[in-house]
Amino acid sequence: MNLQQEIIAKLGVKPEINVDEEIRKRVDFLKDYVLKSGVSGLLIAISGGIDSAVVTGLCKKATDELTEEQGKEYKTLGVFQPYGEQVDISDSYAVAEAFQLKYRIETNIEEAVNEIALEAEHGLKSIGEHRHLSRGGKGNVKARTRMVMQYALAFELNLLVVGTDHASEAITGFFTKYGDGAVDITPLSSLNKRQVRSLAATLGVPQSVLDKAPTAGLWEGQTDENELGITYGDNSSFLEGKDIDPVAKEKLEKQYMKTEHKRAPIPGI
């Protein structure tokens, strides 16, 4: 087994999927875990991107079915988390409208992030490091602050925090460990980006979201593909076991090896 095959096996990606079957399987997965956990529903942070839009659709379908089947209400809470002014926040609300979310909360993280950054800079100054947080460092603070807010709300409302992680992000380690990766359940984890898009079309994700370039929103103009220098087309094809450009393949495999610590549980001794 070569490295590509090992990665595919570890991440559980299929070369082809039946979209309707995958939707059904993932909705049932969410329903089962909600019942086992004894919670009142699901929380999803809606960024305005395709991944969170697909998860929103799955969550809403799961809680609607549970409400009908169990005879009591189960919630899907959509959370919007701009940093200051989010230029595409209308896409987040369009997702909420498309899936008819009854419960929505907007929490602006700008003030909290800036205070954390300021305290960190004071700390650096105390050891002789006179500088601002780096762009990447502040981006990580944003990711972690968003998760703190999600868990604050989830605790009060007895909800599970649902993640948007999928195999095309896992292979590159493109998440902040225990930042945006600190969630309770990940219904997209064995899908690649192309497959997520296939689910999106069937679920009814708004066209404005389908047309956007993928971004984690960590700084202005940031996109996943530009940051990594790897297209999601090559990424998805690799995970489907296809041959891709050798340069892209080498870059993906190196990125996978370099970021293994992000996918691994916290080590102990």
Per-residue pLDDT reduced to its tens digit, 5-25:
999 999 999 999 999 999 999
**pLDDT class for 136, splitting at 50, 70, 90?**
confident
pLDDT tens digits, 164-208: 999 998 998 877 666 666 899 999 999 999 999 999 999 999 999
Position 212 pLDDT exceeds 90: no
Position 213 pLDDT exceeds 80: no
Residue 97 lies in a domain: yes
| pTM for this model (two decimals) | 0.92
How much is the pLDDT for 133? 96
pLDDT tens digits, 237-261: 999 999 999 999 999 999 999 999 8
CA–CA gap between residue 147 and residue 153 (Å, rounded): 10
Domain harbouring 109, CATH code:
3.40.50.620
CA–CA gap between residue 45 and residue 24 (Å, rounded): 22
161: part of which helix (H) or strand (E)? strand 160-161
The string of DSSP letters for 90-114 reads HHHHHHHHHTT-SEEEE---HHHHH
How much is the pLDDT for 178? 67
How much is the pLDDT for 180? 65
Q: Which residues are catalytic?
A: 51, 169
How much is the pLDDT for 172? 87
Residue 238 lies in a domain: yes
Residue 184 lies in a domain: yes
> In terms of Cα–Cα distance, which of 85, 79, 129, 124 is closest to 105?
79
How much is the pLDDT for 189? 93
Residue 269 lies in a domain: no
Mean pLDDT of 129-146: 93
Q: Report the side by side order of strands in the sheet with 160-161.
A: 103-106, 75-80, 41-45, 160-161
How much is the pLDDT for 173? 85
Domain tally, the chain = 1
Position 108 pLDDT exceeds 70: yes
Residue 268 lies in a domain: no
Residue 89 lies in a domain: yes
Residue 172 lies in a domain: yes
State which residues form the domain around 222.
Answer: 3-263
Residue 63 lies in a domain: yes
